[in-house]
């Protein structure tokens, strides 16, 4: 078809409506080429005012991935089954290991037995003095950190309460058997706490709340002599050693009982307070009684009145009306302490009369020598 046909009758650039399209002629050389384009329909007057169609929102689906839905995990086999564990427990190799370990533990236990000179009881203590001193230094740093964290403060050296504690300690240290320790005395401002303790290495901490109960220097000497006695008798090392024995006994029972299916039952019984009531608390009461005796003799040799120890525990008994029963505590009851100290008073008064207050041969030195040789020095205990 020539350019002068139907399309040739239109001028270049003229539009021709054909349904939904329009045609436009262009000159390409000498030929007229028709180009088809999609026409955009013009909105009618009515359509201008019609509302837009509402979009329907689809609900959002949330998928929770559960790793246990993976069939590889559901069908996975345990690395160590109960049957394999029971077989390992009952195997000859395991029995050999148990026998050798038990024999080594028995030898280690008897090798570290020693006699407490004042009470004559035999105890297990595997910690050296250097190890216990390191533990004491770490505990002292922890006490100072907690005091700073809680906003507490130490009384200054010029405070009369601090001067009182240092004055009593200066007279007790020569009779403590630990004159070479690096002694540090700290008095904590806390009227609501009646407590004092001496950590290994000579770190002394006294709460101001115990000073009114002490009353005077002799009463305070009863308190500090008791706390020093714990270090002299190495009760801290004994407690650390006892924790090893108790834990070894408990886990051995659990391991052996697992072979017959009683592991959870044993853990429920012995993992609670029964082990504490049966072992730790009775041992704690024995240690407290020994420290009472040693501290009483120590304060008597330092020329303090041992009768003030009885008065101190009477005041303490009046202040502690809701104390737990003795069998539930790590300390003897106040009444028991008063009765025991009253029995020891004649010996303590004799020590005071014989003392020159200069520690030529103190009771603590005799205690250390008796501990090394393993004999008893207090038959009246």
Catalytic residues: 227
Say if residues 117 and 185 touch (Cβ distance below 8 Å).
no
Query: What tokens appear for 210 in the block?
Result: 């115990």
Which residues pair with residue 251 across a beta bridge?
none
User: CB burial class (10 A; 0-12, 13-18, 19+) of residue 265?
Assistant: exposed
Q: Which residue has the tokens 């072992």?
A: 279
Instruction: For residue 125, give the nearest of 115, 135, 133 by alpha carbon.
Output: 115
3-class secondary-structure state, position 147: helix
Q: Where are the alpha helices (DSSP H) in the chain?
A: 71-74, 82-89, 92-111, 129-149, 160-172, 211-214, 217-232, 235-258, 263-270, 274-275, 281-301, 307-319, 334-354, 363-373
Say if residues 132 and 181 touch (Cβ distance below 8 Å).
no
Query: What tokens appear for 192 in the block?
Result: 């609501």
Which long-range contacts (C-beta less than 8 Å, at least 24 apart) are formed by 91-98? none
User: CB burial class (10 A; 0-12, 13-18, 19+) of residue 10?
Assistant: middle
Distance CA 302, CA 49 (A): 110
């Amino acid at each position: 078809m020539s350019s002068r046909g139907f399309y040739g009758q239109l001028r270049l650039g003229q539009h021709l409506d054909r349904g939904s399209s329009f045609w436009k002629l262009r000159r390409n050389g000498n030929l007229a080429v028709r180009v088809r384009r999609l026409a955009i329909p013009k909105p009618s007057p009515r359509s201008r005012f019609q509302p837009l169609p509402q979009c329907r929102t689809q609900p959002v689906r949330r998928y929770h991935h559960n790793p246990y839905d993976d069939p590889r995990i559901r069908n996975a086999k345990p690395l160590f089954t109960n049957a394999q564990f029971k077989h390992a427990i009952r195997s000859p190799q395991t029995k050999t290991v148990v026998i050798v370990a038990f024999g080594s533990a028995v030898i280690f236990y008897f090798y570290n037995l020693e006699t407490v000179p004042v009470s004559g009881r035999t105890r297990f203590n595997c910690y050296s003095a250097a190890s216990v001193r390191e533990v004491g230094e770490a505990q002292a740093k922890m006490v100072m950190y907690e005091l700073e964290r809680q906003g507490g403060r130490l009384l200054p050296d010029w405070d009369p309460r601090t001067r009182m504690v240092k004055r009593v300690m200066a007279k007790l240290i020569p009779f403590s058997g630990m004159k070479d320790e690096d002694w540090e005395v700290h008095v904590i401002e806390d009227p609501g706490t009646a407590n004092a303790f001496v950590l290994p290495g000579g770190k002394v901490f006294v709460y101001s709340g115990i000073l009114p109960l002490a009353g005077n220097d002799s009463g305070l000497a009863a308190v500090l002599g008791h706390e020093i006695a714990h270090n002299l008798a190495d009760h801290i090392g004994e407690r650390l050693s006892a924790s090893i024995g108790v834990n070894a006994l408990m886990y051995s029972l659990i391991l052996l009982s697992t072979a017959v299916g009683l592991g959870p039952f044993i853990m429920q019984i012995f993992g609670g307070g029964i082990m504490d009531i049966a072992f730790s608390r009775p041992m704690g009461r024995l240690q407290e009684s020994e420290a009472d005796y040693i501290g009483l003799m120590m304060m008597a040799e330092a020329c303090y009145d041992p009768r003030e120890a009885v008065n101190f525990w009477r005041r303490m008994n009046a202040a502690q009306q809701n104390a737990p029963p003795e069998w539930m505590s790590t300390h003897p009851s106040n009444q028991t302490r008063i009765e025991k100290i009253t029995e020891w008073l004649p010996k303590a008064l004799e020590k005071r009369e014989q003392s020159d207050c200069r520690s030529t041969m103190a009771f603590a030195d005799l205690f250390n020598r008796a501990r090394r040789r393993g004999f008893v020095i207090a038959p009246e205990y």
